[in-house]
Amino acid sequence: MTQRTGKRAVLVAANQPLEIWERPVADPGPGEVLARLTHGGVCGTDVHFWRGEVPLPGPVVLGHEGVAVIEMLGAGVSTDYAGTPVAVGDRVYWQPVAPCQRCYACTVLGDVSMCENAFAGVFGNADGPTTASYCDYATLRAGLPFYRVPDDTPSDAVIALGCALPTMLQGLERLGGIRPGMSVVVQGCGPVGLAATLLAHLSGAAPLVVIGAPARRLAVAQQFGATHTLDMGELPDAAARTARVRELTGGHGADVVIEAAGVVPAFGEGLQLIARGGRYLIVGLWSAPGTVPVEPRMINNLNLRIIGTALSQPRHLYQALQVVQAHHRRFPLAAAVTHRYRIEDSQQALEAVARLETVKAVIAPAT
């Protein structure tokens, strides 16, 4: 019997080109699933990992967004994390981190997205089984949340918003939702901003203003429901953008501002965009170090609420699949995948995402 092998893109050290390793691929153990990658989403966070802005102990296989086809089921595996039956040949979508269910966050706070141990060995050994997605094969270890992709849902549509959609679903849950007719501003038009735009539109936001660049991404934001877009290339002055938002919201500012830009200066600008009694959801600054001046009395006197959110919980992955299944025909989700790369070209993929050349880039092993 021929030993199965697979390629993987490995980050050995920050700011160094990814290396392509080929390693044996073991059969899954009890409770595990071996899956063959078709789509590995390239997330902006991967760029931060590569640059060393979020340290990772190398060597490590990159990629935390994946759609794959089940190759083998380990003993005892017959359903996904929601109890849906699975079989060889089914497509799956997974969360590469598994909550420990024994730390303070998991057991006392009841919020596994804040698990204190979830990132311990998160992607596995670069030489051995990995849950990462810049590779030919992923091994979904026992207890790792994964869900079957519905037959009528294209893989491109699932990966288009990658981890951004479940992250935004958790964020809006923490925010307390958006009521129809609320004015919303989204800062940023990458996948996180596009996920925010889509969900705000589905919630009935009006007006729905997206601030960002480049124009190609803003055009997708309009397709996802934005009523107005402000191109930072055409309107580079923050004060001018604030004035335009005030104009679009009757002089009041936005009921909800969602930070999805991933750059620290966005926070200071966002505070100027909020209406009295408004809410500010911070989603994109998870891996962006830095500080910004804040006038606390403004938060006090305007009765503002600032809510942080990071990552997602297993239910949000499931909800993301439901959103995509329900709406992929109405919105051009699959078309948001604009760039595909072989595993061997993973470094080029990272660099293209860093230069904002893509809407969504994927590592497609079969490409």
More confident residue, 159 or 310: 159
At residue 111, the pLDDT reads 87
211 with 300, same domain: the answer is yes
325 with 193, same domain: the answer is no
170 with 293, same domain: the answer is yes
38 with 16, same domain: the answer is yes
- Nearest of 181, 214, 196, 209 to residue 260 by alpha carbon: 196
At residue 2, the pLDDT reads 58
Last residue of a domain, one of 308, 332, 350: 308
The alpha-helical segments, DSSP class H, found in the chain are 44-51, 104, 155-160, 164-175, 191-202, 215-223, 238-248, 265-273, 296-301, 314-327, 346-354
For residue 119, the domain's CATH number is 3.90.180.10
Q: In which domain, by residue range, is 236 found?
A: 165-308
Q: How many domains does the chain have?
A: 2
Give the confidence band of 124 by pLDDT, cuts at 50, 70, 90: low
208 with 286, same domain: the answer is yes
Q: How far apart are CA 71 and CA 151, in angstroms?
A: 17
Last residue of a domain, one of 263, 284, 308: 308
For residue 232, the domain's CATH number is 3.40.50.720
Last residue of a domain, one of 308, 337, 352: 308
- Per the CB < 8 A criterion, the answer to whether 336 and 328 are in contact is no
- Nearest of 156, 104, 128, 143 to residue 21 by alpha carbon: 128
At residue 97, the pLDDT reads 77
99 with 234, same domain: the answer is no
Please classify residue 70 by burial: count the beta carbons closer than 10 Å to its beta carbon, then call 0-12 exposed, 13-18 middle and 19+ buried.
buried
At residue 250, the pLDDT reads 96
211 with 334, same domain: the answer is no
At residue 55, the pLDDT reads 80
Condensed to tens digits (0 to 9), the pLDDT of residues 224-243 reads 999 999 999 999 999 999 99
Q: How far apart are CA 169 and CA 195, in angstroms?
A: 9
Condensed to tens digits (0 to 9), the pLDDT of residues 18-64 reads 999 999 999 999 999 999 999 999 999 999 999 988 887 779 999 99
146 with 170, same domain: the answer is no
